[in-house]
Amino acid sequence: MPSNKYVSDSTIIQFVNCKILREHKLQRDDLWVREGKILDPEKLFFDEKRSADQRVDCKGLIIAPGFIDVQINGGYGIDFSQATNDVRGGVALVAKKILEHGVTSFLPTLVTSPPNIYHKVLPEVKVHSGGMEGAGVLGFHLEGPFISLEKKGAHPEQYLRSFLSDGISDLIETYGTLDNVAMVTLAPELANSHTVVRELTGRGITVSLGHSVANLSQAEEAVQCGASFITHLFNAMLPFHHRDPGIVGLLTSDQVPHGRTVFYGMIADGIHTNPAALRIAHRAHPSGLVLVTDAIGAMGLPPGRHTLGQQVIEIQGLHAYVAGTKTLCGSIATMDMCVRHFKQASGCSVEEALEAASLHPAQLLGISHAKGMLDYGGDADFVLLDDALNVRATYIAGQEVWRK
């Protein structure tokens, strides 16, 4: 029936008595949801002449967009880089558990692995929306193997690769497929990297610089070719030097093409980055800061030895080391812990802390029209928090998927 008015019978839910993060400010306003999207109540009132079917009293809690983790290697005993019999089940388990941390979308991350691992794992998980079963998968983050030997960190040396032919063939040969891949971390100083960066960016895949000994010019060239992210800033790259700031210099580079932003991941677990370094980065480039957990399979597990990729790691308190060394191999912090720690260490506002885990990753991935914001028409993925930023409830597509 042709009509210039949108008519629907779906339930309209009005979240009242809350503070919502909108337009960079926490505002006392109601949040309206219908059919999994954020609804414009004024349009509803005047166009459809309808009011809410259900009211949810949020008792003064904060409503923020759901958190998006773009670097998470596993958790709860699951290691995404292991080709088990049930890759899909493993991803699903983590997806379900991270709802408790306020994460509504994530990029399951694979560290440097042999081709057979990628060929086995990648086809098993497709991009899909979240819901009661768990957070949504936005695609894989492939961290390696095209990285620098000197900055391999916890990645297994024997599986590092470089771009031997035109670059693309190397990618396909290594990964098997680029379908359902949202991000690739590579070292831009590798030969032939420019074509690779351009090709990946052209396919809508975010290119991140990391595990690299690139100098600032090499990093800037990569950004000009389309790279837009830095994998865990400060870690696995040359330290800032005042005559060659290296990748860190991208935060204040004047060579970034106009209209584009270079985002950078920060593991704000209090261990991977000294709070003073966190503050320097934040103050230099606050709008680019993206909180990531870089959580490993041991996140959520008790202390002791566990497997990560092709290596064994050891948990001591909040630290996770390559077994027998003092090399950090990822964090076991949860996203909400990172948000709280970031706020406390940087002294930033509540809004900034929340946006670093939601808006900024959404902007990085180019999905901020749908996620990372509570704007009308966007996906109703959000999290209810108290003033201390503890997660009380998580919602995906307007449906409560976890409650404390």
Partner 1 sequence: MRLVILEDYNLSCEWAAKYIRNRIIQFKPSAGRFFTLGLPTGSTPFGCYKKLIEYHKNGDLSFKYVKTFNMDEYVGLPRDHPESYHSYMWNNFFKHIDIDPANVHILDGNVTDLEAECAAFEKEIAQAGGIDLFVGGIGPDGHIAFNEPGSSLVSRTRVKTLAKDTIIANARFFGNDLAKVPTMALTVGVGTVMDAREVMILITGAHKAFALYKAIEEGVNHMWTVSAFQQHPRTIFVCDEDATLELRVKTVKYFKGLMHVHNQLVDPVLSVKEQ
The site that binds partner 1 (CB under 8 A) totals a number of residues, namely 11
Which of 19, 41, 148, 333 binds partner 1 (CB under 8 A)? It is 41
Q: Is 255 exposed, middle or buried (0-12, 13-18, 19+ CB in 10 A)?
A: middle
Q: Does 6 bind partner 1 (CB under 8 A)?
A: no
CB of 51 to partner 1, least distance (A): 6
Q: Does 46 bind partner 1 (CB under 8 A)?
A: yes
The strand pair at 319-322 and 103-110 is best described as: unpaired
Q: Does 59 bind partner 1 (CB under 8 A)?
A: no
CB of 12 to partner 1, least distance (A): 12
Q: How far is the C-alpha of 369 from the C-alpha of 362, rounded, in Å?
A: 8
Which of 10, 11, 27, 42 binds partner 1 (CB under 8 A)? It is 42
CB of 368 to partner 1, least distance (A): 21
Of 16 and 168, which CB lies nearer to partner 1 in the complex structure?
16
Q: Does 45 bind partner 1 (CB under 8 A)?
A: yes
How many CB atoms are closer than 10 A to CB 302?
7
Q: How far is CA 277 from CA 4, 209, 216, 248, 268, in A?
A: 55, 19, 18, 11, 10
Please list the active-site residues: 294
Q: Does 287 bind partner 1 (CB under 8 A)?
A: no
Q: Does 57 bind partner 1 (CB under 8 A)?
A: no
Q: How far is the C-alpha of 100 from the C-alpha of 346, rounded, in Å?
A: 24
Q: Does 23 bind partner 1 (CB under 8 A)?
A: no
Residue written as token pair 């983590």? 94
When computed from its CA atoms, the radius of gyration of the chain, rounded to whole angstroms, is 21
Of 55 and 96, which CB lies nearer to partner 1 in the complex structure?
55
Q: Does 10 bind partner 1 (CB under 8 A)?
A: no
Of 27 and 274, which CB lies nearer to partner 1 in the complex structure?
27
Interface residues for partner 1 in 158-197 (CB under 8 A)? Answer: none
Q: Does 49 bind partner 1 (CB under 8 A)?
A: yes
Q: Does 375 bind partner 1 (CB under 8 A)?
A: no
Q: Does 377 bind partner 1 (CB under 8 A)?
A: no
* Tokens coding 37: 């999207």
* Tokens coding 57: 């009293």
Q: Does 30 bind partner 1 (CB under 8 A)?
A: yes
3 state SS of 256: coil
Q: Does 51 bind partner 1 (CB under 8 A)?
A: yes
**Which residue stretch of 36-44, 180-188, 305-313, 366-374 sits at the interface with partner 1 (rule: CB under 8 A)?**
36-44
Of 14 and 148, which CB lies nearer to partner 1 in the complex structure?
14
Under DSSP, the state recorded for 134 is B
Q: How far is the C-alpha of 205 from the C-alpha of 306, rounded, in Å?
A: 31
Quickly count helices (H) and strands (E) in the chain.
10, 24
Q: Helix 275-284 to helix 335-346 angle, to the nearest 10 degrees? A: 80
Q: Does 50 bind partner 1 (CB under 8 A)?
A: yes
To 5 degrees, how large is the angle CA 379–CA 380–CA 386?
A: 135
Q: Which amino acid is at 166?
A: D
Give residues with Cβ within 8 angstroms of 32, minimum separation 6: 12, 13, 14, 15, 38, 39, 40, 41, 44, 52
CB of 369 to partner 1, least distance (A): 18
**Which residue stretch of 43-51, 175-183, 305-313, 339-347 sits at the interface with partner 1 (rule: CB under 8 A)?**
43-51
Pick the closest to residue 66 from 301, 367, 296 (CA basis): 367
**Which residue stretch of 35-43, 56-64, 137-145, 235-243 sits at the interface with partner 1 (rule: CB under 8 A)?**
35-43
Tell me which residues touch partner 1 (CB under 8 A).
Answer: 30, 41-46, 48-51
